[in-house]
């Protein structure tokens, strides 16, 4: 496109074909799959009758028809046609084979339940299954190669014009080019402002104003239009929509500049009004219930399991130094609310502070001998199981940091823009950052930035399986982490 800018006029002169609808390809593939299922059943039966020299029996053909109808339903339910599968490599042939296997298993189950298996040849049944599986696989691979060839030729690209050659329109064009959008083929900009110069980015030019756009639409060389105007241009936007209302093409309003900052967010409808869903409350609904159940049950079991060990630790602390067994400190929890965290005391009683502004450092003289072992093995955190049972904490989550800590002389909230986002969920005894090496002292800006990065990853990708994996990894790293002191 760099050598020759392809305008709508040029595309029409060259006989550029109208785009192929992916919906039509999808329908053809669905029909092809069902034809394969039925045809393979018939072909294998014809071969069986010829090979065994037996007469035709009508129940075979009736079974093939019924099985084909069942396959149509099962293929759909099991996602053989889900999403943009026609543009996926091999058309998701693996998923189709799984669907065919489940379909065939269901058919056999029905046959056994009706006690009609004796009416059919086992050789035919096995042959039908294998032949269909092979034909479906080969068919998907051949069709996939054909579709990819069409995609390279731009045959699925809707001939698209962008109204608005300003910053918003340029960013939209650059985004579509960068993503390699198969279904969109930009052929230029439309802009009524005569002061707008030709755009170089992506080799797209301003082809004219809205009047010229209407002529191109009447000539049938435009399939869709993206309106890329700032939200402040309300009157201009309303006028454009009125002018294009009767045009037999798709008209879409592109997001304002701020929308490009949230590309992967979903759009929800509230009272029929589309809204950009910027953030969801993490771990909510049933996820919140399941995590609460997980926390309470596991915490109770761990208290019982570690109870004798906790008594021994308490005794060791009392024998070494005078003072309380436990150390309580105020920290920020869910929704930035303050709570008191429980820990075994690891420092000399007169050294403990309640503000939490001074972190322990390597070789810290305040730490006792028993405390040094407890801190290194994280056993000093065991009393936080009671915080979990009380509901202030979770077993797994971002670690609750002491209030007013600093890194490089600056508060954490000033160093990391999304630091407060850690408090969208309950803090945890262990977390994704800790099992990935970001544990202990946070004396540099890089350390707190990396810890927050891993904490946010956990929040956005939470699952019970991730929690279980973190718990097991915590056991592995407990006695091997050099960052704990």
Round to whole Å and give the CA distance between 288 and 283: 5
Q: What is the DSSP string of 160-203?
A: EEEE--SHHHHHHHHHHHHHT-TTEEEEEEE---TTPPPP-GGG
What is the phi/psi pair of residue 343, to 5°? Answer: -145, 155
Q: What is the pTM of this model?
A: 0.59
pLDDT score of 12: 44
pLDDT score of 355: 43
Length of the chain: 485
Q: What is the DSSP string of 63-116?
A: HHHHHHHHHHHHHHHTTTT-SSGGGSGGGGHHHHHHHHHHHHHHHHHHHHHTT-
pLDDT score of 256: 78
Q: What tokens appear for 423 in the block?
A: 């408090």
* Ordered structural domains, the chain, with CATH: 8-12+157-277 (3.40.50.720), 22-152 (no CATH), 286-477 (no CATH)
Residues of the chain with pLDDT under 70: 1-17, 194-203, 257, 259-265, 272-276, 278, 351-363, 405-409, 414, 440-443, 479-485
pLDDT score of 140: 92
User: Considering only CA atoms, which of 438, 378, 447 is closest in space to residue 407?
Assistant: 447
Inter-CA distances, 468 with 11, 85, 291, 294, 295, Å: 57, 33, 11, 10, 11
Residue 214 DSSP symbol: H
pLDDT score of 354: 44
Half-sphere exposure of 122 (CA within 13 A, CB side): 2
């Amino acid at each position: 496109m760099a050598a020759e800018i392809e305008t709508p006029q040029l595309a029409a002169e060259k006989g550029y074909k109208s785009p192929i609808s992916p919906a039509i390809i999808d329908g053809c593939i669905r029909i092809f799959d069902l034809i394969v299922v039925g045809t393979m059943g018939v072909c294998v039966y014809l071969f069986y009758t010829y090979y065994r020299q037996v007469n035709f029996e009508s129940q075979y053909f009736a079974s093939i028809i019924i099985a084909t109808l069942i396959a149509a339903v099962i293929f759909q339910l099991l996602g053989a046609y889900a999403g943009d599968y026609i543009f996926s490599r091999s058309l998701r042939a693996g998923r189709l084979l799984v669907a065919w296997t489940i379909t065939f298993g269901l058919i056999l189950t029905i046959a056994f339940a009706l006690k009609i298996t004796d009416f059919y040849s086992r050789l035919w049944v096995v042959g039908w299954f294998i032949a269909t599986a092979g034909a479906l696989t080969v068919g998907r691979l051949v069709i996939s190669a054909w579709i990819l060839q069409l995609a390279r030729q731009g045959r699925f690209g809707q001939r698209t014009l962008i109204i608005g050659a300003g910053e918003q329109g340029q960013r939209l064009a650059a985004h579509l080019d960068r993503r390699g959008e198969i279904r969109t083929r930009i052929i230029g900009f439309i802009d009524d402002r005569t002061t707008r110069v030709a755009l170089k980015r992506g080799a797209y030019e301003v082809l004219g104003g809205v009047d010229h756009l209407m002529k191109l639409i009447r000539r049938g060389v435009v399939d869709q239009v993206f309106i890329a105007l700032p939200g402040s241009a309300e009157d201009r936007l309303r006028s454009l929509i009125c002018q294009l209302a009767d045009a037999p093409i798709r008209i879409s309003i592109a997001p304002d500049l701020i929308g490009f900052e949230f590309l992967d967010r979903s759009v929800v409808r509230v009272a029929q009004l589309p809204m950009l869903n910027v953030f969801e409350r993490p771990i909510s609904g049933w996820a919140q219930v399941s995590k609460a159940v997980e926390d309470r049950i596991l915490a109770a079991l761990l208290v019982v399991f570690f109870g004798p060990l906790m008594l021994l630790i308490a005794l060791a602390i009392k024998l070494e130094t005078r003072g309380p067994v436990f150390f309580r400190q105020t920290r920020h929890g869910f929704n930035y609310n303050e709570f008191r965290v429980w820990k075994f005391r690891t420092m000399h009683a007169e050294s403990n502070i309640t503000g939490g502004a001074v972190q322990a450092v390597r070789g810290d003289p305040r730490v006792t001998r028993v405390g040094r072992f407890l801190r290194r093995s994280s056993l000093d955190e065991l009393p936080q199981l009671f915080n979990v049972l009380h509901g202030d904490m979770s077993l797994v989550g971002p670690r609750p940091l002491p209030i007013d800590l600093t890194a490089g002389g600056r508060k954490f909230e000033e160093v990391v823009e999304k630091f407060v986002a850690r408090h969208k969920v309950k803090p945890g005894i262990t977390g994704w950052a800790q099992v990935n090496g970001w544990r202990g002292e946070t004396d540099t800006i890089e350390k707190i930035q990396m810890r927050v990065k891993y904490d946010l990853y956990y929040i956005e990708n939470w699952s019970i399986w991730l929690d279980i994996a973190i718990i097991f990894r915590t056991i592995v790293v407990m006695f091997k982490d050099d960052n704990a002191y």
